[in-house]
Structure 1
Amino acid sequence: MSQRIANFTLPNIFYNVTGKEAEKLLMKYGIEGEFLVRPSSTGENAYSLSIHRGSRITHVKLNKNGDFFSIKDCDVFTSVTELINYCISNTGYLKEHNGDVIVLTRPLSWNVRKYDWNYFHPNITGLEAEKFLKEYGKKGLFLVRQSQSHPTDLAMSVMLGEGKVCHLKIITLSDTFDIGGGETFPSIERLIEHHRKVPLIMDKGSVLRLETGLATTKIFIPDIDMRIEQLTRTDRNGKTLLSSEFDRLQASESQRVMYTSQKYGKKEENSDKNRYKNIVPYDLCRVKLKNEGTLEMNDYINGNYIEILPYEFPDMACINKHYISTQGCLPNTIDDFWQMAWQEESYIIVMVTKEVERMKNKCTKYWPEDDEILTTGRYSDIEVHLEERIDKKNYIIRIFELYKYKVVDNIGDKSIKIGQRTIYHFQYTGWPDHGCPRDPYEIVSFLKAINEYSYNKCPVDQGPMVVHCSAGIGRTGTIISIDIITEYIRVQGLRCFIDVLSSVKMVRAQRSGMVQTELQYKFVYDVVAAFVRDRIKEYEINRLKNDIKILNPTTPNSANTISLTSSNSGSPRNNQSYEIPNNTTKSTEPSKFEFFTSSCGSNNGFQEMLHESDNHLYFSSHASPRDLRNSTESPKNVSINAFGEVMSSNHSSPFNHTPIEQRIQECSTIMNERVKLQPPPLPKRKNPPKEFI
């Protein structure tokens, strides 16, 4: 038992269902690796673990001996939760008799989408609820969450004041809700509204009136469109939920800055190294420059390490990302900048600004051009050579070769080379002077290119990615936050929860002011939504390729094959060929629209329209070739909105766009990303065992 045990939160693992009912639930609403724990048919106080295995369900008996649980007699655990955590952490611990490994990923979470109130917080514990409420401390502030003891019931956590929080169980039957057996209500909204007017009678005769619901910031990925629409909706006071959420971010930032030291950056000796005198790094996580010579040198540079903080933000523990957030170079900090890049073993530099914007210097040019050699470093011990420049639509890729020389007598000795490294420099040039880019897909494409270079061309143990704009907080924080969230989605899949507020908080905990404006905060949401759509398109392309090959296994470059090639040679979707079934013909008219018919979906076939614009392939389900030809819209009158939806230019007859939740369901054939909206009622259940409370 020397392996590591992860500290996962498993609030929804117990269901009072039979083995057959567990199989139906998992096959209909789960994906491979999801599981639930249920009573065993062998008797009282015995349990079984039911696991989705892709095409089948496997049941594993959990043995109970006194106060301990086990699967193998040699390993015992104090609770079912500890046992499950161990199985998740140690892949290969669970095996079938034939040696096949049984993989556990996460509990079945089909019921989390039943409630769409702003104050419903899915998949949080009572302790997490207390933490959220105490952060604001307002008496009467409340939230609703899933009960940990009864996953199909609810619990309400309410702030009492003086740092105390109480938890009330909401009994949830098929058509009614009540608190502790009191008056019943037909909806949770009616229950909340009632107790806003009629106080709750607490222990010892005290009363509690519900005041304000604490809005959740967690989003179930298939609901991201709906969530963004909610965030931008104006309330009776003319304020949006997005504004309130950003206010919460600002409030937590203010408290942190009060107790976090920034003394070193504000020293007089460092003032000329700060582009903006009030934007300096936190002392605790600032980058310190190393001194290879004998001269007494300052170790200061205006930069912070940005790491994943698993103890404070446990949901992010699965991500392996690290960054340096720094300001744009000044003339006197170029040497320090390259010293930092070398000593930190960085291979990727991301620049999110032009050198000059609105006639103001935003960043001093710190790289050489074609035939130049830049000699830099604190002891002139580094040479930078430009090997290649690749111009894209809204960004530039520069490939530098760095040569490091030994410092002898406080100067770089060019006869003793001690290291060499290739640096990939990405400069985004499309960020407007004010606001954010109009098309979030540009940032999706930009980050995709960065990560492709990082994963394919850089060593696994590379140092932090260096990211900077001008001040190193606004655009820089936006890019880093987006990259962290999208990486989380890549790791967890399209059925996960994300929390933009918590993600930005984590970044701000390490550098003040990251994601500087409300507009940038909204842009994080927009780009994440665009990333999700782009991810789905990739799945759909894979599914199309797979289905078409099955329907018509012709050889490439035949008459039934169309090659979709972008005008941008750097696009990751270039030169992909898709075979067309015999009953579908390619139009000979010069158009960017092509059609395919797939057997997936309905009995009549699943029809999709592909549109290639700005190097993105857009899909609109259920738009057939006949529909387009018979419509009054010609391809030139069709445009793509910010989320990749195909729209009419006059908006009189837009093409219907399939919601994300349905598209995730449609591409489940390949990716097992199944999502359902209305689960059936669970069988009546008894109280859960104490091991799950």
Structure 2
Amino acid sequence: MDELRLTDFYYNVSGDRARELLFLYGSKGEFLIRPSESNPFDHTISIHRGNRVTHVKLSGKGGIHRLPTGQEFINLCALVQHLMETPNLLCEKDGVFIEVTKPVKIPAPESVVNIGQDRFFHIAINGLEAEELLSDEPNGTFLIRESTSVPGEYALSVKNDDSTLHVRIYHDDNKFRIVPKDNFRSLTELIENYKKTPMVQYTGTVVKLKQPLLSTKFTAASVDDRIEALIRTAKKPNARDGIAEEFDKIHHDKSCSLYVSCKEGRRPENVRKNRYRNVVPFDHTRIKLRPLDSESESSEFSDYINANLVKVLSNVPCYSEFSGVGKRYISTQGCLQHTISDFWHMIWQENVRIIVMTTKETERGRLKCSVYWPEKGEEHRYGQNHEFRVRLTKEESKGEYVIRQLELAYLQKGESIPTAVRHIFHYQFLAWEDNGCPSDAVLTFMDEINRVAVPRCPPDCGPMLVHCSAGIGRTGTYIVLDIIIAKIKQIGPHCAVDIPKTVRMVREQRATMVQTEAQYRFIYYAISTYMKMWRKEHALNEISAALPPPTVPNDDPDDELESNEEEYESEEDSDGS
């Protein structure tokens, strides 16, 4: 193990805040050390016990740190190292041992702000990123972030005279200051002071703080606090809250598609292959069908299918925070009867082994997707020369979803024996109804796919294919949530989550992904539900939920679009699925 530093385990927080942070970020056996609230020379170790937190006093008399067992140490690092190397050292009065494993990993700012609630504070950004965030904002817009040059201190970044100014915030003796005379107990106090009394630089320039740039980033553990903060912004009952405002900002942001071509999907010969006239793929990420053999290459062959490759763009600087999340998807529409052969062509060409279907075949009497798989005991042939043979080998109902195992075989023209056979997992989610979708059901569905199907796919398999009806609403919601959950699993509860940024990333690859406000809101509540499940798994059943995990309101905008039937001629309107 690397040499311990004080910053690895020491937090200047109260006992109540220590308990809250351990419940948010920790698991059984993890701990932190904090100042004693009863004696300025002593410290306290707060230990996660599964369903409670135990606080143990550490004497500091004479500058020597002592455990209750009598051992003495010259510094806290040595004490903590000894605790970790000596299991069962601490015990209750009744002799029950207290498990101590490792320091809990908590974002440093949590000791001075509530990351979920205090939206003026931006986690995990540097000065250049702050300048980028403030570049299009009016003068007087500001944010606070961690200092990247001095650990434990902070920086105020403010738009002033059309440029960004960075001001150091000193943090010592549990107080905050910009100039020596300052003596603020919190960053909020400091901000309120300088909003009333502008700063004056030594050059005489006046720096005014007018409005904070509200952060969209939070830690996974603080999701309930962030939801509460966003909902609280609604001034009146039934008014639009912060979640709705975030979605509106994304939905009206044309930068994702302003200079993006969609010509292929609008060609007259391809229009009939689109389920909805207003949902067409971007040209730069669309899946292009290729002839499978020389006989397939004819004047009738078309490379068009309404599908896009969507992946985590961690190689793009603004999305580097997704590094390590190597997710790839094909996002596509529900099959039309005359596009089923193209669908199976794409499955074979892209070596897809998992299909995720987030719609029923028919909902509210409207066809959402033509059935593209056979019944048990049957086989269907597809393709220009009937080269694809599809069989259903297994079907299992899990209540809210159905798992199918399909056999996809490729046969050369005139041959009866397949050249190759592949096995495809088909997962169909049935519970995404108009009256909402239970977040725990989606997470169970997603976990089944990632835990069971993904490990059974060959190493060279292609992207996971996700579709609904239009291939943008439920499909986009599923993909965004899958990416975020994968990142949380990789990093832990202190993982930084930015829902708007994740939605923008996938919207750069297929238009209007996460189509409705209800779907966007669902992502927040699904992450909340996931963190509750995580805490339960880590024996964290004592923490109270800030909000219940509600179902999502109607996510199907058919009703809103029915008045636009003339615009879409005889085509069905995009249904938010």
Please give the TM-score of this superposition, normalised by the length of structure 1: 0.61
Shift of the 54–144 alpha-carbon distance from structure 1 to 2, 3 Å rule, reads farther
Partner of 1:353: 359
Partner of 1:367: 373
More strand by proportion, 1 or 2? 1
Partner SS state of residue 413, structure 1: coil
Partner SS state of residue 226, structure 1: helix
Distance in 1, matches of 2:357 and 2:456, equals: 19
Mapping of residues 119-130 of structure 1, within 5 Å: 119-130=120-131
Per-residue deviation at 1:205?
3.6
Shift of the 329–318 alpha-carbon distance from structure 1 to 2, 3 Å rule, reads same
Partner of 2:188: 189
Partner of 1:240: 241
Distance in 2, matches of 1:133 and 1:53, equals: 43
1:642 is the counterpart of 2:546: no
Per-residue deviation at 1:184?
4.4
Per-residue deviation at 1:137?
2.6
Partner of 2:390: 384
Partner of 1:295: 298
1:25 is the counterpart of 2:10: yes
Distance in 2, matches of 1:129 and 1:359, equals: 50
Higher relative CO (Cα under 8 Å, sequence separation at least 6) belongs to: 2
Partner SS state of residue 300, structure 1: coil
1:172 is the counterpart of 2:171: yes
Partner SS state of residue 336, structure 2: coil
Partner of 2:197: 198
Kept after mapping to 1: 8 A contact 2:274/2:306? yes
Partner of 1:443: 442
Partner of 1:592: none
Distance in 2, matches of 1:175 and 1:539, equals: 32
Distance in 2, matches of 1:200 and 1:378, equals: 73
Partner of 2:415: 414
Letter in structure 1 aligned against 2:290: K
1:619-667: CA deviation from partner (whole Å, max 9, x where unpaired): 5689xxxxxxxxxxxxxxxxx96389xxxxxxxxxxxxxxxxxxxxxxx
Shift of the 200–496 alpha-carbon distance from structure 1 to 2, 3 Å rule, reads same
Distance in 2, matches of 1:398 and 1:519, equals: 29
Per-residue deviation at 1:333?
0.9
Partner SS state of residue 415, structure 1: coil
Partner of 2:92: none
Partner SS state of residue 273, structure 1: coil
Kept after mapping to 2: 8 A contact 1:171/1:177? yes
Partner of 1:65: none
1:353-381: CA deviation from partner (whole Å, max 9, x where unpaired): 11111222111111111232111124321
Counterpart among 290, 312, 317 of residue 323 in structure 2:
317
Distance in 2, matches of 1:509 and 1:186, equals: 43
Letter in structure 1 aligned against 2:112: K
1:33-52: CA deviation from partner (whole Å, max 9, x where unpaired): 99xxxxxxxxxxxxxx99x9
Distance in 2, matches of 1:128 and 1:362, equals: 42
RMSD of aligned Cα (Å):
3.4
Shift of the 119–641 alpha-carbon distance from structure 1 to 2, 3 Å rule, reads closer
Kept after mapping to 2: 8 A contact 1:533/1:643? no
Kept after mapping to 1: 8 A contact 2:109/2:146? no
Mapping of residues 421-440 of structure 1, within 5 Å: 421-433=422-434, 436-437=436-437, 439-440=438-439
Partner of 1:500: 499
Partner of 2:522: 523
Kept after mapping to 1: 8 A contact 2:256/2:504? no
Letter in structure 2 aligned against 1:309: L
1:327 is the counterpart of 2:333: yes
Kept after mapping to 2: 8 A contact 1:33/1:53? no
Mapping of residues 460-539 of structure 1, within 5 Å: 460-539=459-538
Kept after mapping to 2: 8 A contact 1:138/1:161? no
Partner of 1:229: 228
Distance in 2, matches of 1:108 and 1:191, equals: 24
Shift of the 22–236 alpha-carbon distance from structure 1 to 2, 3 Å rule, reads closer
Kept after mapping to 1: 8 A contact 2:105/2:494? no
Shift of the 203–413 alpha-carbon distance from structure 1 to 2, 3 Å rule, reads farther
Shift of the 379–106 alpha-carbon distance from structure 1 to 2, 3 Å rule, reads farther
Mapping of residues 123-138 of structure 1, within 5 Å: 123-134=124-135, 136-138=136-138
Kept after mapping to 2: 8 A contact 1:281/1:303? yes
Partner of 1:115: 113
Shift of the 54–286 alpha-carbon distance from structure 1 to 2, 3 Å rule, reads farther
1:308 is the counterpart of 2:312: yes
Shift of the 470–452 alpha-carbon distance from structure 1 to 2, 3 Å rule, reads same
Partner SS state of residue 345, structure 2: helix
Distance in 1, matches of 2:139 and 2:266, equals: 39
Partner SS state of residue 531, structure 2: helix
1:69-98: CA deviation from partner (whole Å, max 9, x where unpaired): xxxxxxxxxxxxxxxxxxxxxxxxxxxxxx
Question: Please, which runs of 5 or more residues in structure 2 have no aligned partner?
Answer: 12-17, 32-76, 86-102, 552-577
Mapping of residues 597-676 of structure 1, within 5 Å: 619=541, 642=549
Shift of the 182–287 alpha-carbon distance from structure 1 to 2, 3 Å rule, reads farther
Distance in 1, matches of 2:175 and 2:267, equals: 63
Kept after mapping to 2: 8 A contact 1:112/1:122? no
Shift of the 53–20 alpha-carbon distance from structure 1 to 2, 3 Å rule, reads closer
Partner of 2:251: 250
Partner SS state of residue 127, structure 1: helix
Shift of the 161–523 alpha-carbon distance from structure 1 to 2, 3 Å rule, reads farther
Partner SS state of residue 354, structure 1: coil
Letter in structure 2 aligned against 1:190: E
Per-residue deviation at 1:536?
2.8
Moved more, 151-160 or 329-338: 151-160
Per-residue deviation at 1:471?
0.7
Per-residue deviation at 1:440?
0.9
1:508-537: CA deviation from partner (whole Å, max 9, x where unpaired): 121111111121111111111212222333
> Percent identity between the aligned chains?
36
Letter in structure 2 aligned against 1:402: L
Partner of 2:217: 218
Shift of the 270–106 alpha-carbon distance from structure 1 to 2, 3 Å rule, reads farther
Distance in 1, matches of 2:159 and 2:139, equals: 5
Distance in 2, matches of 1:471 and 1:416, equals: 36
Partner of 2:41: none
Distance in 2, matches of 1:222 and 1:298, equals: 48
Per-residue deviation at 1:499?
1.8
Shift of the 20–122 alpha-carbon distance from structure 1 to 2, 3 Å rule, reads closer
Partner of 1:77: none
1:172-225: CA deviation from partner (whole Å, max 9, x where unpaired): 233543334465444322332333343333475433322221111222222222
Partner of 1:266: 266
Shift of the 378–210 alpha-carbon distance from structure 1 to 2, 3 Å rule, reads farther
Partner SS state of residue 305, structure 2: strand
Partner SS state of residue 272, structure 2: helix
Kept after mapping to 2: 8 A contact 1:351/1:426? yes
Per-residue deviation at 1:504?
1.6
Distance in 2, matches of 1:127 and 1:459, equals: 41
Letter in structure 2 aligned against 1:218: K
Letter in structure 2 aligned against 1:307: K
Question: Please, which runs of 5 or more residues in structure 1 have no aligned partner?
Answer: 1-17, 35-48, 58-104, 407-411, 541-607, 609-618, 623-639, 645-693
Partner SS state of residue 337, structure 2: coil
Kept after mapping to 1: 8 A contact 2:358/2:467? yes
Letter in structure 1 aligned against 2:362: V
Kept after mapping to 2: 8 A contact 1:530/1:643? no
Partner SS state of residue 409, structure 2: strand
